[in-house]
Amino acid sequence: MSSHLTLVSPTRGVPVSQTPDREAGFGDTFGWTDILLLVRRRLRMIVLIAFVVSVAALPSILAVPKLYYSETRVLLTPSPAATADPRTPVAALTMETEIERLLSHEVVRSVIDRFDLASRAEFNPQLQAPSPVDQASALGRSAVLNLLGLAPAETGETPRTEKVTQTFRESLAVSRQGTTNVLAVGFVSEDPGLSETIPTAMIDAYLSASGRSQREATRQSVAWLDNRIAVEREQTEAARLRLDGFLRETGIASMERPEVIGSRLRLLETRQEQVARERREVAAARRSVKLALASPDRPALAEPDQLVDLRRDLQREMQELAKTASVYGEEYGGVSARKNRIDALKAEITSELNTYSSTLDLRAGALADEADGLESDIDRLSADLGRLEDAQPETDRLTEDLITRQEMLTDLEGRRATLLSMIDVPPVALEVLKPASYPSDPLGPGRKVYLLAAMLAGTVLGLLAAALAELCDRTVRSPEQLPEMPRSQPLGLVPRPSRRARRTIPRLLSQGSGADVPTAEGIRDALFLLGCADGGRLPPLVIVAPARRRDAVVPVAEWLAAAVAGSAMPVWLVSTGARYDRPRTDDGAVVRLTLSAEAERHGSTAKAIEELAAMARQLGGTVFVDAPPLHTSQSLGLARAAGNVLLVLRWGRTPRKVAGLVLRLLSRVGAVQVATLIVDADPARHRLYGFADRLSLVARDSAGRG
């Protein structure tokens, strides 16, 4: 018997407890087990999609060429020769600028021409065979143009134009290493030898182009400086002529410089002060001499040494005279001699004073003449200095202009000489840190990796498609998925029969055999549960109807009747159409009737249903009415009249919304007991949904024993 049982009240037929509603696939308890079950359910789809994606990607993978990569690393610094001379105008080394120079059109074209890359199909798309997609695109474009009556536009491309350059640039890799002055120059090519030589050729072409650019820029600068120097020389000569003309006009051309005149003037003024002081001293001395002549005993100022000696002798004689006179008296002969001596000394002093006075007169005259000369020279120099000071601003302006132009001319000439000396000096110094080497292995992953990636992508797409299919699958696969309704009784699932077993199932059911046939066992289990729902006895009359016409894939009513007949109970099978109009006596145990005949005999369909139920109740048997789909008014009327309905759902085909709609309709028409039976179930696939029902347990057990 089924392990998925629902206990019902024996008196009223209302479910006491029901299994919780569960959505197969995705839900609140979705975990790794559900993912594994999903993969197992949709394994064929996943494998098929992965296979299709891999096969579709295989031509593209096989068409991917092997690419080789090699690079060289160089250190760029300003040229030492250029930085040795501080007057050399050296531009700052900017790595971004040097990278742009390395990638310039001139450098790229020189390398392309050197290796004749335009003749290689790798770089010249015009030499490549068009792909089927390109051919189809060209045919479609041509057809559209012909349809519109337009002429195809000429591209005008040649093998040595933009396409070759663009492809070459795409294969070239130039980058700066961090914030250093190190450049990495790499190249990708199908030819490993070419990938090795192109980076070095790019560096050589870059140096050659930089040198040519440097020389051309130097020549242009020298030519510009020559013109500037010629103009500056003319302006310097004009400034010199303006200065000379001004000096001649002002008469100061022959004059000494103001600082020299000022120095001489200061010397003359100093001497003038000295002469004035000496004249004052001489005048004082002359006055003292006159006083000394009037009184010989009084000395003059600044007397000569001879006068000083005479006055000393005179003073000594007078002292001796006084001493002698005091001792010997005035009458002593020695006193007279000394007086004579004193008179002689006084006469000699007077003579010397006259001589000294004459000398002072001469000195006073000389000083007066010198003072007059100094005054004249000072006046002349002061006049010259005043003229120079008046003309000094203009002179300074003209002189400064001349000096400025001479300095500018000298600087321009120095720049020109420096540029000429640096014309052959390279602008940058290059040091190869890592030369390009011959690549032995191709770049990137191999074709096997691409194939694995395609298979992985196909698997991912397959998983997404499987998940999408599961999300879109809203069909009934288990009683757990049916909505909970009052008086609803699930009877389980009936496995899908094989073609050969399908023909023998009625006979096996009527004979009570076929225990090894899952479909027959499923019908017996459903019949057992149907009896349990009504207190252990089968209802006297049951309406057996599918939810939709397409769900009637197996004759459930006929099989149930055969199973009841196999238990030696009276059973009647009533057909609502012309299917059983003719009596069937092959099994002998099932009485077959038609609803139309019974309704005609009893007066109405409802009366016929009541009579059939009463007959079955009286005889202890069961009437099965094989009704049309329950969404029709005929079946709903039968369900209302009979009260007991067996709703047949098809596994994996009947939508859950349809099942829920039918159950709600049966509830509204007042069906007493509604049983549901899911038929045509695939046990092998059903066990992969993880439902907790008997069919899943049996399928898992069979798979484990296998």
Q: pLDDT tens across 245-259, in order?
A: 887 887 776 677 777
At residue 619 the predicted structure's pLDDT band, cuts being 50, 70 and 90, is confident
Q: Which domain holds residue 415?
A: 258-421
Q: What is the helix, strand, coil percentage profile of the chain, to 5? A: 60, 10, 25
Q: What average pLDDT score do residues 576-605 get?
A: 63
Confidence of residue 263 (pLDDT cuts 50, 70, 90): confident
Residue 200 pLDDT greater than 80, yes or no: yes
Residue 269 forms part of a structural domain? yes
Indicate if 647 and 603 belong to the same structural domain: yes
For the chain, the C-alpha Rg in angstroms (whole number) is 69
Q: Report the chain's mean pLDDT, rounded to a whole number.
A: 81
Q: What is the DSSP string of 631-674?
A: TSHHHHHHHHHH-EEEEEEETTTSBHHHHHHHHHHHHHHT-SEE
CB 198 within 8 A of CB 185: no
Q: Is the pLDDT of residue 417 over 90?
A: no
pLDDT over 90 at 704, yes or no: no
Assess whether 459 and 530 both reside in one domain. no
Residues 417 and 278 in one domain: yes
**Position with higher pLDDT, 132 vs 196:** 196
For residues 703 and 511, which has the higher predicted lDDT (pLDDT)? 511
Residue 246 resides in a domain: no
More confident residue, 10 or 142: 142
In a domain, 453, yes or no: yes
How far CA 337 is from CA of 321, 348, 361, in Å, comes to 9, 16, 36
pLDDT confidence of residue 443: 78
Is 501 a member of any domain?
yes
**Quick one: 205 and 332 in the same domain?**
no
Three-state SS at 410: helix
pLDDT of residue 237: 92
Looking at mean pLDDT, say which of 259-263, 270-274, 481-485 comes out highest. 270-274
Q: Does 522 share its domain with 594?
A: yes
Domain membership of residue 235 (yes or no) is no
CA-based nearest residue to 182, from 76, 103, 93, 71: 76
Q: Which of 14-28, 217-231, 308-322, 627-641 shows the lowest per-residue confidence on average (mean pLDDT)?
A: 14-28
* Band (12; pLDDT cuts 50, 70, 90): very low
Looking at the structure, do residues 618 and 662 belong to the same domain, yes or no? yes
Residues 96 and 183 in one domain: yes
Virtual torsion, Cα 687, 690, 696, 699, nearest 10 deg: 40
Cα dist from 132 to 59, 137, 206, 430, 539, whole Å: 12, 8, 40, 48, 71
Is position 17 within any domain? no
How far apart CA 596 and CA 626 sit, in angstroms, is: 12
End-to-end CA distance of the chain: 22
Q: How far apart are the C-alpha atoms of 374 and 272, rounded to whole Å?
A: 6
How confident is the model at residue 72, as a pLDDT?
A: 94
For residues 523 and 578, state if they share a domain.
Answer: yes
Tally of structural domains, the chain: 4
Least confident of 197-211, 335-349, 609-623: 335-349
pLDDT at 86: 57
Please tell me the least confidently modeled range out of 97-111, 350-364, 594-608: 594-608
DSSP state of 15: B
Report the percentage of the chain scoring pLDDT > 90. Answer: 14
State pTM to two decimals: 0.51
Task: List the Cα angle 101/104/110 in 5-degree steps.
Answer: 115
Q: Are 567 and 512 in contact (CB under 8 A)?
A: yes
| Same-domain check for residues 333 and 459 | no
- pLDDT given at position 131: 61
Same domain for 451 and 370, yes or no, is no
Q: How confident is the model over 234-250, as a mean pLDDT?
A: 87
Structure confidence at residue 706 (pLDDT): 53
pLDDT tens digits, residue range 347-395? Answer: 888 888 888 888 888 888 888 888 888 888 888 888 877 877 777 788 8
Flag the least confident range among 16-20, 250-254, 477-481. 16-20
Show which of 201, 221, 241 is a domain's final residue: 221
Reply yes or no on whether the pLDDT at 486 is more than 80: no
Q: Is 213 in the same domain as 289? A: no
Q: Model confidence at 404, in pLDDT bands (50, 70, 90)?
A: very high
Residue with tokens 């992985």: 456
Cα-based angle 137, 143, 149 (whole degrees, multiple of 5): 135
In the predicted structure, residue 152 carries a pLDDT above the cut 70 = no
Nearest C-alpha neighbor of 187 from the set 205, 207, 201: 201
Q: Which CATH number covers residue 646? A: 3.40.50.300
Task: Specify if 664 maps to a domain.
Answer: yes
Angle at 109 between CA 108 and CA 113, to 5 degrees: 120
Task: Calculate what percentage of the chain has a pLDDT beyond 70.
Answer: 87
Q: So what's the pLDDT on residue 188?
A: 93
Classify residue 492: in a domain, yes or no.
Answer: yes
Q: Residues with Cβ < 8 Å from 444, sequence gap 6 or more? A: 67
Lowest mean pLDDT among 291-300, 492-501, 502-511, 666-675: 291-300
Judge whether 60 and 451 are in contact, CB under 8 Å. no
At residue 539, does pLDDT exceed 60? yes
How far is residue 519's CA from residue 505's CA, in Å, rounded to a whole number?
Answer: 8
User: Are residues 500 and 463 part of one domain?
Assistant: no
The phi, psi pair for 583, rounded to 5°, reads -60, 145
Residues 543-572: what's their mean pLDDT? 88
Please answer whether residues 74 and 185 qualify as being in contact, where contact means their C-beta atoms are separated by less than 8 angstroms: yes
Distance, in Å, from the CA atom of 302 to the CA atom of 226, rounded to the nearest integer, reads: 78
What local confidence, expressed as pLDDT, does residue 538 receive? Answer: 87
Q: What is the pLDDT of residues 327-343, one digit of tens each?
A: 777 777 777 888 888 88
Of residues 584, 457, 576, the one with CA closest to residue 51: 457
**Average pLDDT value for residue range 588-608:** 77
Q: Is the pLDDT of residue 226 over 60?
A: yes
- The arithmetic mean of pLDDT across residues 431-445, rounded, is 86
17 pLDDT band, cuts 50/70/90, is very low
Tokens representing 147 are: 């349809």
